[in-house]
């Protein structure tokens, strides 16, 4: 089992302590117990013992994000952990991935779940939607 640990540290004006508190609160309410399939699963969170101002979030490891999938699909080809429907064979330029509606539906479902739990994700973009590395079938 592999995890990705995201370390948060308040650094000046870009990320404030309030942001970190917001993120921890949101993760606590939205990502626990695999509530929704289309939100990244978080296994744990807390503060690092050596520095009091540092926090971490343990989330599932993701192999690539949607931006890589759109603009550089060759990187995603080598990934053999993908199920057959999502595996990218060579995409010629100026054509579209056939499962565009499927991808879009999954992302919208995740956003709709957040909205129904009274949270707004204020930074939706292709970089922030990722494909997990180890899928459980």
Partner 1 sequence: MWKIADFGFVAQVSSKIRNRTSANGRGTHGYRAPELCTENPLYSTKTDVWALGCVLHELAFRQSAFCGDWAASEYGRSNKKLEFPGTKDLRWHDSDKLALSTILERALAVKEFFRPSADDMVNLIDNIIKDLDALPDEPTPLSLSSPPPAAEQIADRPDVDVHDEERSETDPESQTGSEEEPTPSPQRTIKRQCSQCTRSYVVPRDFIKHDKTWLGQIREYSCSDCQGSFARNEVAFNPNACR
Contact residues for partner 1 (CB under 8 A)?
Answer: 8, 15, 19, 22-23, 25-27, 30-31, 37-41, 59, 62, 65-66, 70-71, 93-97, 100-112, 114-116, 118-132, 135
Tokens of 122: 């204020």
In the complex with partner 1, the residue whose CB is nearer, 48 or 73, is: 73
CB of 130 to partner 1, least distance (A): 5
What are the Cα distances from residue 60, in Å, to 13, 51, 52, 112?
A: 28, 24, 24, 21
CA Rg, the chain, in Å?
17
d(Cα 126, Cα 34) in Å, to the nearest integer? 22
Inter-residue contact 66 to 126 (CB < 8 Å)? yes
In the complex with partner 1, the residue whose CB is nearer, 41 or 54, is: 41
CB of 49 to partner 1, least distance (A): 23
In the complex with partner 1, the residue whose CB is nearer, 87 or 121, is: 121
């Amino acid at each position: 089992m592999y995890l990705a640990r995201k370390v948060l540290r308040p650094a000046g004006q870009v990320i404030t302590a309030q942001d970190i508190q917001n993120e921890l609160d949101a993760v606590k309410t939205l990502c626990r117990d695999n509530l929704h399939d289309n939100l990244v699963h978080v296994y744990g969170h807390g503060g690092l013992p050596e520095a009091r101002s540092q926090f971490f979030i343990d989330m599932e490891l993701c192999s690539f994000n949607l931006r890589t999938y759109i603009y550089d699909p060759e990187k995603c080809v080598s990934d053999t952990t993908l199920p057959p429907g999502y595996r990218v064979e060579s995409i010629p330029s100026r054509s579209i991935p056939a499962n565009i509606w499927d991808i879009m539906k999954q992302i919208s479902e995740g956003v709709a779940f957040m909205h129904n739990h009274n949270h707004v994700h204020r930074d939706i973009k292709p970089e922030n939607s990722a494909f997990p590395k180890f899928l459980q079938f």
